[in-house]
Amino acid sequence: MTDTRYKKLADLLVKYSTKLKKGERILLDMIDVPDEFTIELMRSVRSVGAIPIVETRHTRVSREVVRETNAPHAKLVSGIELARMKKMQAYIAVRGADNTSENSDVPSNLMSLYSRAIRPVLNYRVNKTKWCVLRWPSPSMAQAANMSTEAFENLYFDVCTMDYPKMAKAMLPLQTRMKKTGEVHLKSPGTDLRFSIKGIGAQLCRGDRNIPDGEVFSCPIKNSVQGVIQYNTPTLYSGTKFENVRLEFKDGKIIKATSNNTKRLNEILDTDPGARYIGEFSLGFNPYILNPMCDILFDEKIAGSLHFTPGQAYEICDNGNRSAVHWDMVLIQRPEWGGGEVWFDGELIRKDGLFLPKDLQPLNPKNLK
Backbone Cα Rg of the chain: 20
Catalogue the E-assigned strands of the chain. Answer: 25-31, 51-57, 90-95, 130-135, 183-188, 191-196, 203-205, 210-211, 215-218, 226-230, 235-237, 240-242, 246-250, 253-258, 278-284, 305-310, 330-332, 341-344, 347-351, 354-355
Judge whether residue 284 has pLDDT over 60.
yes
4-160, what's its fold?
Answer: Thermophilic metalloprotease-like (3.40.1830)
pLDDT tier, 144 (very low <50, low <70, confident <90, very high otherwise): confident
Q: Is the pLDDT of residue 215 over 90?
A: yes
DSSP code of residue 64: H
Sequence ranges of the domains in the chain: 4-160, 164-368
> Per-residue pLDDT for 313 more than 70?
yes
Strands 203-205 and 90-95, bridge-based pairing: unpaired
Query: Distances from the Cα of 319 to the Cαs of 116, 135, 146, 210, 236, in angstroms?
Result: 19, 28, 38, 22, 25
SS3 content of the chain, % helix, strand, coil (to 5): 40, 25, 35
pLDDT grade, residue 2 (50/70/90)? low
State the maximum Cα–Cα separation within the chain, in Å, rounded to a whole number. 57
pLDDT of residue 100: 81
Residue 161, pLDDT above cutoff 70: yes
Average pLDDT of the chain is 95
pLDDT, one tens digit per residue, over 32-74 is: 999 999 999 999 999 999 999 999 999 999 999 999 999 999 9
Q: Residue 239: pLDDT above 90?
A: no
The model's pLDDT over 249-261, given as tens digits with 9 standing for 90+, comes to 999 999 999 999 9
Say what the pTM is.
Answer: 0.79
Q: How many Å apart are CA 177 and CA 33, to the nearest integer?
A: 39
Share of the chain above pLDDT 90, in %: 85
What pLDDT digit, counting tens, does each position of 26-42 carry?
A: 999 999 999 999 999 99
**Angle between helical axes of 4-11 and 149-160 (0-180°, round to 10):** 30
Strand partners, 344: 184, 347
Three-class SS of residue 68?
coil
Give residue 1's pLDDT.
Answer: 45
103-113 average pLDDT score: 92
